[in-house]
Chains A and B, each alone.
Chain A
Amino acid sequence: MSVATGAPPPTFRIDMLWRDERYRSGFIQAIAMIILMLGVAWLVNNTIENLSALGKDFDFGFLWQSAQYDINQRLIEYNNQDTNARAALVGILNTLLIAVMGCVSATFLGVVAGVLRLSKNWLIARLMTVYVETFRNVPVLIWILLVAAVVNESLPSPRAFRGVDTGAFVATNRGFYIPAPILDAGGGIVVGIFLASIVALIIVRRWARKRQDATGEQLPLFWIGLGILLVPAVLAYFVLGMPIRLEYPELKGFNFGGGIYMRDSLVALWLALSLYTGAFISEIVRAGILSVSHGQTEAAAALGLRPNRAMRLIILPQALRVIVPPLISQYLNLTKNSSLAIAVGYMDATGTLGGITLNQTGREMECILLLMGFYLIVSLFISTVMNIYNSRVKLVER
């Protein structure tokens, strides 16, 4: 017992690598690194051998060759003589288009359904529960295919509208037509004035808030804002002789011309994605509202705030802290789910780059790499936005 426990023996034994705290972490990491390197080397080596056996190389030159296929729904000019890169760009813009449209309508649907599920009205709360459970528990691909099939099979063909006064909106089995705004000479000025008044509105609101902080006086901001927003633009519109008009779709030959054309696949994808994601968002909204304790509402009332003010100043900011992070990840999900466009023939990034371009050029490796890169950039961008938001609304603790 009297033997003093001196310093550990300085000799290094091999089992100290995994038994001794000092060496263990370095040892494990070195092993992990070696295994990873070997694995990657093995995969790369296999790939090189396989590619050379097939006589293929790894080259992005195909992007600058002519694509040789048409894209029927596009935001920028494109024809089948353009390059594969431009086709991919058209696809990427289409993905972003459906993502933005879907996010807006899914948020709207989700907020309405989420609030109504908490309604005191028993019937509508139950109805909304049925909506949410039906859409959440069935795969989104079924919804997309079902809506596409219904649009294709049950809507009339363009020919059925011959001799019928169609009005502003037309729904055919080839797609939907909505009026297109046409800017005549001077139309740009009206739009410019409108944009300028939006900027003015933001400045005025800032000023009003500073004034309220300093003096405690409030301005009737809603009416002032409405005035700033509408009056100059409406005045300019009439002074310049109504330079903006709507172009209605018209039947020309076998199909409609004029107006904005939304392909059936776009409509199907949009409807299905917004209904599906809306169901998820409604659960998020509901959970967010329920997460604000009732004491907060009572405290706001005790401070003498009117209900709408209490909602705007007390409840919503707290609920939003819970709602926004999962909401943004739903946006991300919607964007990723929009790649299912390939099932209904909507030409998004997956349909062009990962679909026809891949099949025509046979460059699987390059196409899928680019495609994954695009989706990764989008999702990294969205998570960056989320992180910024999270750090801004984080509870400041002691």
Chain B
Amino acid sequence: MSGTHAHTVPYVAETHYPAEPAPVSTTGPIAWLRENLFSSWLNAAITLICLAFILWIVPGILDWAVFKSVWHAKSLSECREIIVQTYGEGTTGACWAVIHERLGQLLYGFYPVDQRWRPDVTLLLLITAMIPLLFQTMRPLVVVMAALIGVKILIAAYLAVTENTLGSLFGPTTIVAIVIGGLAYFFGDTHHRTRWLVFTIVFPILAYFLLWGGIILEPIPSSRFGGFLLTMVIGVTGIAGSLPLGILLALGRQSKLPILRLICVTFIEFIRGVPLITLLFVASTLLNYFLPPGTNFDLILRVLIMVTLFASAYMAEVIRGGLAALPKGQYEASDTLGLTYWQGMRLIILPQALKISIPGIVNTFIGLFKDTTLVAVIGLLDPLGLTNPIRSDANWNGIVWELYGFIAFLFFVCCWGMSRYSMYLETRLRAADRR
């Protein structure tokens, strides 16, 4: 075979040469650096400027927030004294003592201290109610509950060492966590999901009973709700209420009935055209005028109504986008099958339209969750509303970064988690499309 060629071609390879490794300059960390950081003079300059910026800012922040911070003190001036004594004149550090002292308030507002297990249990039940909506199996719930019990044990161990008490290791939260975790571990497969969804439907009633009290639990007026508890109550209610309302409004806006459409369009455009703060003003000052004389229900319920209406208008627009993106053939197909309007919507149109609009829906949720901070402006004591009394307290006068930083961090964790979840869902649904 090679013999014939050997006479006509100057060189013929007769053996197989093993592949050479790629040149060092195109693989490995050096090449990565060259490609991504120093590909041109301009890039190199940008990299160096960025590095300088990071080196300037990160050690400073770490130093301030971690290494030279104070966790136990009675006031800001005491904090500063401790820092100056320990690290020398002119050093500044974070005074996390304010968070340490006011943590209960920032999380629960003025909810009675001995009743604070109730919001805790409600939060656990909220997670339990949400997991079957968010995931296919209940396994994540096992992980969450196990992590929670682990954290509780760690805190108990810490308290046992420092304060010689076991703390609240055996409180209602732990019991509920163990029960739920156990149930999720043994009955957590996909075919049990429907039963967990039944719990999800019951949850709002349970949550209302737990938080506001009644029958056997001590009733708590909602004026004592505050801090992150209030944020969660407003955010979760708004999210849960705005989705069904938004779907109805979107369907109304798409409807062939002109009067219905006009009503929905007017409502949506009106709500979207005014800032939330004006709607909250309506809740705080005007809503009582619109109701029969003598009715006077509390501010938080009024705010809940307004926030839900506000979010539902935005939700309607997102879902309308999903409805509009469906090919007309789907509507025609459902008519051809002889389905009624509601059957067609429920079985054919909405499942697809909602799937398309998931990123938008989650974005609306994130926006709503962030917008709950606006209730501070009408005097409700959410975490931001609590910053004013804390900052005007003589002990903590002048505290800025620690307080806002902590609240911002809490919000960041929640919102960032939601946006990550939406990305995960998008990939999962795209995989379902690919087949």
The chain A residues found within 8 Å of chain B, CB to CB, are 25, 28-29, 32-33, 36, 43, 46-47, 49-51, 53, 119-124, 127, 133-134, 136-142, 145-146, 149-150, 153-154, 336-337, 339-340, 342-343, 350, 354, 358, 364-365, 368, 371-372, 375-376, 379-380
The closest CB in chain A to the CB of B51 belongs to A123
B351 contacts the other chain (Cβ, under 8 Å)? Answer: no
Q: Is the CB–CB distance between B412 and A137 below 8 Å?
A: yes
Can you report 12 A-B residue pairs in the complex whose CB atoms are below 8 A from each other? A32-B257, A32-B260, A47-B289, A53-B293, A120-B35, A121-B36, A121-B37, A122-B36, A123-B46, A140-B370, A336-B275, A364-B281
Q: Which of B35, B374, B412 contacts A141 (CB 8 A)?
A: B374
Q: How near does chain A come to B106, taking the closest CB pair, in angstroms?
A: 13
Q: Is the CB–CB distance between A339 and B400 below 8 Å?
A: no
Q: In whole angstroms, what is the CA distance A375 to B279 when docked?
A: 12
Q: Is the CB–CB distance between B289 and A46 below 8 Å?
A: yes
Interface centre among A119, A139, A375 (most CB of B within 10 A): A139
Q: Which of B282, B290, B366 contacts A137 (CB 8 A)?
A: B366
Given contacts A25-B257, A368-B285, contact A350 B370 (CB under 8 A): no
Q: Which of A32, A138, A340, A364 contacts B411 (CB 8 A)?
A: A138
Q: Is the CB–CB distance between B415 and A137 below 8 Å?
A: yes
Residues of A within 8 A of B289 (CB): 46-47, 50-51, 364-365
Q: In whole angstroms, what is the CA distance A337 to B274 when docked?
A: 10
Q: Is the CB–CB distance between B293 and A372 below 8 Å?
A: no
Q: Is the CB–CB distance between A123 and B47 below 8 Å?
A: yes
Q: Is the CB–CB distance between B412 and A146 below 8 Å?
A: no
Q: Which of A32, A124, A343, A365 contacts B259 (CB 8 A)?
A: A32
Q: Is the CB–CB distance between B36 and A339 below 8 Å?
A: no
B residues 154-189 near A (Cβ < 8 Å) are none
Q: Is the CB–CB distance between A354 and B281 below 8 Å?
A: yes
Q: Which of B259, B374, B411 contacts A29 (CB 8 A)?
A: B259
Q: In whole angstroms, what is the CA distance A376 to B267 when docked?
A: 12
Residues of A within 8 A of B411 (CB): 137-139, 142
Q: Is the CB–CB distance between B416 and A137 below 8 Å?
A: yes
Residues of A within 8 A of B134 (CB): none
Q: Which of A51, A142, A365, A375 contacts B275 (CB 8 A)?
A: A375
Q: Is the CB–CB distance between A342 and B377 below 8 Å?
A: yes
Residues of A within 8 A of B275 (CB): 336-337, 339, 350, 375
Residues of A within 8 A of B377 (CB): 141, 340, 342-343
Given contacts A142-B404, A149-B400, contact A28 B274 (CB under 8 A): no
Given contacts A47-B289, A47-B290, A127-B50, contact A376 B263 (CB under 8 A): no
B277 contacts the other chain (Cβ, under 8 Å)? Answer: yes
Q: Is the CB–CB distance between A145 and B404 below 8 Å?
A: yes
**Known pairs A371-B278, A375-B274 / 16 extra A-B pairs, C-beta < 8 Å:** A47-B290, A49-B293, A120-B36, A122-B36, A123-B47, A137-B411, A139-B371, A153-B400, A339-B275, A339-B278, A350-B277, A354-B281, A371-B281, A375-B275, A376-B270, A380-B273
A-B contact count (CB 8 A): 151
Given contacts A32-B259, A139-B371, contact A46 B36 (CB under 8 A): no
The closest CB in chain B to the CB of A52 belongs to B293
Residues of B within 8 A of A141 (CB): 373-374, 376-377, 384
Q: How near does chain B come to A4, taking the closest CB pair, in angstroms?
A: 24
Q: How near does chain A come to B390, taking the closest CB pair, in angstroms?
A: 12
Residues of B within 8 A of A142 (CB): 373, 384, 404, 407-408, 411
Q: In whole angstroms, what is the CA distance A89 to B401 when docked?
A: 36
Given contacts A29-B258, A53-B293, A140-B370, contact A149 B404 (CB under 8 A): yes
Q: Which of A43, A121, A354 contacts B43 (CB 8 A)?
A: A121
The 6 closest A-B pairs by CB, nearest first: A122-B36, A137-B415, A139-B370, A379-B273, A336-B275, A339-B275
Q: In whole angstroms, what is the CA distance A76 to B288 when docked?
A: 37
B328 contacts the other chain (Cβ, under 8 Å)? Answer: no
The closest CB in chain A to the CB of B405 belongs to A146
B residues 139-156 near A (Cβ < 8 Å) are none
Residues of A within 8 A of B419 (CB): 136-137
Residues of B within 8 A of A380 (CB): 273
B25 contacts the other chain (Cβ, under 8 Å)? Answer: no
Q: In whole angstroms, what is the CA distance A46 to B277 when docked?
A: 24
Residues of B within 8 A of A339 (CB): 275, 277-278
Q: In whole angstroms, what is the CA distance A134 to B275 when docked?
A: 23
The closest CB in chain A to the CB of B366 belongs to A137
The closest CB in chain B to the CB of A142 belongs to B408
B256 contacts the other chain (Cβ, under 8 Å)? Answer: yes
The closest CB in chain B to the CB of A56 belongs to B289
Q: How near does chain B come to A347, taking the closest CB pair, in angstroms?
A: 15
Residues of B within 8 A of A127 (CB): 50, 53-54
Residues of A within 8 A of B373 (CB): 139, 141-142
The closest CB in chain B to the CB of A143 belongs to B408
Residues of B within 8 A of A123 (CB): 36-37, 46-47, 50-51
Contact flags B217-252 to A (C-beta < 8 A → 1, else 0): 000000000000000000000000000000000000
B193 contacts the other chain (Cβ, under 8 Å)? Answer: no
Q: In whole angstroms, what is the CA distance A73 to B148 when docked?
A: 51
Q: Is the CB–CB distance between B43 and A364 below 8 Å?
A: no
Q: In whole angstroms, what is the CA distance A153 to B401 when docked?
A: 11
B68 contacts the other chain (Cβ, under 8 Å)? Answer: no
Residues of A within 8 A of B398 (CB): 153
Q: Which of B273, B278, B293 contacts A368 (CB 8 A)?
A: B278
Q: In whole angstroms, what is the CA distance A309 to B400 when docked?
A: 49
Q: In whole angstroms, what is the CA distance A123 to B36 when docked?
A: 8
